Amino acid sequence: MPITTFLFDLDGTLMDTDALHHAAFNTILARWDRHIGVDDYKTHIMGHANAAIFGYLFPGMPASEYLPLADEKESLFRAQLEKEVAPTPGIAALLDYIDRIGGRRAVVTNAPRANAELMLKASGLAARFDTLVIGDELARGKPDPLPYLTALQLLGARAEEAVAFEDSSSGVKAASAAGLYTFGMLTGLDEARLKAAGAQAAIRDFNDRALWDKVQDQGADKGGAA
């Protein structure tokens, strides 16, 4: 069945912002003379919603105490964003391809809406997506499949005609549980960890030949990467 629907995570997928998030979390943790390392960040932080993250960082802390910290962390992250953020290589060609085939696309993220909208604007991608699904605005965020199921419903699409792109274990689990063929992005995790979470393939960026071989039909528009 032709692939006509494309669902994208944001952080670490459409653009590489994990270093900025990592730094913002450590700015908060420094008040307690604490620090989270890169591997711990990739395992327990990356791709998760703030409620799960702060539950991990501050076990037992009530929401009334961690919510202001979460808000401050997101403000610190947004302050680090430069006027323009470079999108992941190949995304323009892929979005152009989706336009040519009359396909559908959405961003599906656990990022707060303010972050997501600013990142899309800073990367110049805001006008390329009609649908933005925010995990925190639903009953359950990633790793639950609900955000991806919601995106499919909003787009009027079926999982068998869609692919997802994710860089975190949490996100890969969510997309895979929604029945989506999932590309793991090698921006943060290695291929083994992405596939262990459920990714069917791992790619460096949107120029990867494995991506184009999957999404293009025989004899269809071949306007992607060479």
- Catalytic (active-site) positions: 9, 11
Token pair of 152 as six digits: 């499919």
Token pair of 127 as six digits: 């006008």
Q: How far apart are CA 79 and CA 200, in angstroms?
A: 35
Tally of CA atoms within 13 A in the half-sphere of 124 that contains its CB: 8
Instruction: Say if strands 104-109 and 131-134 run parallel, antiparallel, or are unpaired.
Output: parallel
Q: How far apart are CA 8 and CA 167, in angstroms?
A: 10
Q: 52 CB contacts (<8 Å, ≥6 apart)?
A: none
The answer to whether 142 and 149 are in contact (CB under 8 A) is: no
CA distances from 34 to 10, 26, 52, 58 (A): 27, 7, 18, 11
- Tell me the CA end-to-end span of the chain in Å, nearest whole number: 23
Token pair of 171 as six digits: 């996100």
The answer to whether 63 and 51 are in contact (CB under 8 A) is: yes
